[in-house]
Amino acid sequence: MSAEVVTPNNLDARLARENQPQPPETRERIEAEYEEEDDVETLKYGAKHVMMLIVPVSVCMMLVIAIIRTVTMYDQGPQQQVYLVYTPFNENNKDISTGSPVSDAVLNMLIVVSLVVVMTCFLVLLYKYRCYKIIYGWLFLSSLILLFMFSFIYLQEVIVRFNVAMDYITCGYIVWNFGVMGIISIFWKGPLILQQAYLVITSAFMALVFIKFLPEWTLWFLLGGIAIYDLFAVLCPKGPLRILVELAESRNEPIFPALIYSSTVMWTITGMTEPSDPNYNQLNESNSSSSPPGNTAPPPNRAPNNTAPNNTGTQEHDPEMEPAEQGVKLGLGDFIFYSVLVGKAATADDWNTVMACFFAILIGMCLTLLILAVVKRALPALPISIFVGILFFVGTRFCIKPFCDRLAIGQVYI
């Protein structure tokens, strides 16, 4: 449902249908009423879309926090020796390290961001030349590893942590059913809520990989670097994510289901969302593991159960296939890096810092949607939330926490 937009043409048409001559004062009053109704509808659906994003992002961050607090495997300790191959510079590698954690972190960040840029451009080229089978194979393999291997590793850690007796056959049966159901839900058919749950879980697993296998300084610099790159990728006229979204819109095709979180079923037979539509405020971006974080923009419509898109660009009408409403879409890259920030704060063993970062990210999301409603153009979804979250982390960790500790030692209560 969307509010009717008042234009001179449809206003004249309505007045003509009513067959009532209207003076200019009445015309202005009717136009003002239409504009007021349109603002109310925009506010209503904008708030609803905000909630559709806050809930899954909150669930993903809470899942990462719960895993880190219950399983010690993902909490880096002094004995941490294994890191990703993309981060050769770290203080534990004396042969390559520059001797300064800051310079090591900057070099590692540049390597990882460069890799993200290359993989994103490669994905855009594949999409431009319609190499869909390669893209689906790439995403399928990534999801397969996350849903099977990482879930098996996590289940093993849970069994050890809580001292649960379980044989390998039972463990394999659980992992097999969990993984197969996830693959079917994401790439084929399944309830929307199940697909959403698996996308959130895969994002949480990927965030845990970054938290575990990235050096501490590198991780913080990477959060800032990927947010800056997000600005370039979305706002630059030749940015890869902007090109990807424009290609999808021009072809009226859906972006691949393993890259985005969708709040509702999107049908391809409906027309594209226009800026005058209150459903314009939708988020759409790519997964950082396959492509970097994306943008806040109106996405192309998505067929239910991943059916083939309508490439003709024409609108067809079928009463049985009319969607109830447009859905909100958010790239899994945002889920991952939001969870990385909160999860890293959770390793500091300070709940004040964790909650500060948690709410800072949600505040950043709301600010992003607010700016989107004003400017009505594609916006990156990461920078505001990441920079506000880092600011809250530093302020809470190094200012508020010591202050509260001194109050507790002095038995001063405010």
| Catalytic member of 230, 318, 349, 405 | 230
Residue 38 among the catalytic residues: no
Residue owning tokens 């993309």: 86
| Catalytic member of 75, 104, 167, 334 | 334
Handedness of CA 284, 287, 290, 295 (dihedral sign): positive
The closest alpha carbon to 253, from 130, 109, 377, belongs to 130
- For residue 259, what are the CA distances in angstroms to 76, 265, 313? 28, 15, 23
Residue 39 among the catalytic residues: no
Residue owning tokens 């296998």: 213
Whole-number Å distance between alpha carbons of 37 and 49: 18
Active site residues: 230, 334
